Amino acid sequence: MEEGGQLSQQQQQQQQQQQDHQLDQRKRRKIHIAVFDSSFNPPTRAHLAISLTLYPPPTDLSSSSSSSPSNTIPEFPTAAPNETYNEPYTARLLLLSARNVDKTPKPGIDATFVQRIEMMRLQALDMEAVAGRADQSAGNVAVAALNHPTFVGKSDILLRWLRQRFSPASTNADAPPEIRLTFLIGTDTLLRLFIPKYYTPSPLLGPDMPAHLSKLFTLDGSDIVVAHRGTTSAARGEEETFIQSRADCRALVRGGKIRFVVEGEVGEEEREMSSTRVRRAVREGREREARLLMGKRVGDYVFQEGLYAVPP
């Protein structure tokens, strides 16, 4: 600094460069993808409703009515405190998992992966048909399949592909976009997220469950939005008890890394729907009931292809 408190020309240039860089960072394109991962066997109106939910605000645990929680599990060490990320979704992805931690396809009974991809494509058309929502992302839908059973593996694969796809070398952009993935899941999947047996040691993902979750939520910057499945007070009580009993889960909720779909976005009727109900209704000859559980495009495809009619 020169005499009199004036900045030198070099310092002024450095300050301007820093301001320009900060402005460029703010102007970076933001890509926020809502990833709905499911078996889609077949897609139902519940899948459609969850796929179209908006990005919710963080959940306030202070309003919980549960009694004192167990503190036997250490706090999740890398949960970001006071997460303030509230960018709306810019795109949506229907993701088929070729490998699921709990489900093995039954040949001749379940739809093939090719048939499921086609049904996902038809549901994506249904989503685009209602693309007038506030965030406009319902009109920007893609379909994909991955051969990895855990969310941390899916997050890693998707982010690596997207960052390569949108790298400055590939797009002639000055800077890569900021990419964030939000996985949409049901409450049953949230419970499985914290079961250690599903996390096998990996040099890329980590040696155990805490390392895997640290990569998912902190290194990758991904997060999770949970859609309530049941409609009864008992079902809600089970969800709340689980969250309050796990200090690691509570920390992630407080940090805004686990959020919950806003009440009313998924109707009570849709919350009671499931792919299992569809398959049972088809198998038992109740076509009208089965069609009511699916969108028209998917329903027409199921019956044109003769899916799920073979008894297990």
Domain membership flag for residue 294: no
Task: Establish if 92 belongs to a structural domain.
Answer: yes
pLDDT of residue 62: 65
The two three-digit tokens of residue 159, written as one number: 């982010």
- Extract the tokens encoding 43: 């897609």
Would the CA dihedral through 93, 95, 101, 102 be positive or negative?
Answer: positive
Q: Residue 280 domain-assigned?
A: no
Residues composing the chain: 312
Per-residue pLDDT tens over the stretch 130-179: 766 545 677 799 999 998 889 999 999 999 999 998 887 766 767 788 99
Residue 2 forms part of a structural domain: no
pLDDT band for position 302 (cuts 50, 70, 90): very high
In a domain, 7, yes or no: no
Range of the domain at 98: 30-268
**pTM of the full predicted structure?**
0.81
Task: Judge whether 10 lies within some domain.
Answer: no
CB contact at 8 A, 266 and 294: no
| Joined tokens for residue 41 | 């066997």
CATH number of 261's domain: 3.40.50
Instruction: Return the residue matching tokens 């940090």.
Output: 255
With cut-offs at 50, 70 and 90, classify the pLDDT of residue 238.
Answer: confident
Cβ-based neighbours of 5, under 8 Å, separated by 6 or more: none
How distant, in Å, are the alpha carbons of 51, 109, 117, 211, 300 from that of 304? 25, 16, 16, 46, 6
- pLDDT of 168: 78
Q: What is the pLDDT of residues 32-88, one digit of tens each?
A: 999 999 999 999 999 999 999 999 998 877 654 444 333 333 333 333 444 556 889
Residue 240 lies in a domain: yes
Beta bridge partners of 31: 179
Please tell me the distance from the alpha carbon of residue 88 to that of residue 55, in angstroms, as a whole number: 6
* Cis peptide preceding 42, ω within 30 of 0: yes
Q: Indicate if the pLDDT at residue 241 is higher than 60.
A: yes
Give the angle 13-18-24 at the CA atoms, nearest 5°: 125
Over the stretch 182-226, which tens digit does the pLDDT of each residue have? 999 988 889 889 999 999 999 999 999 999 999 999 999 999 999
Q: Is 258 exposed, middle or buried (0-12, 13-18, 19+ CB in 10 A)?
A: buried
Domain count, the chain: 1
Both tokens assigned to 60: 């306030």
In a domain, 300, yes or no: no
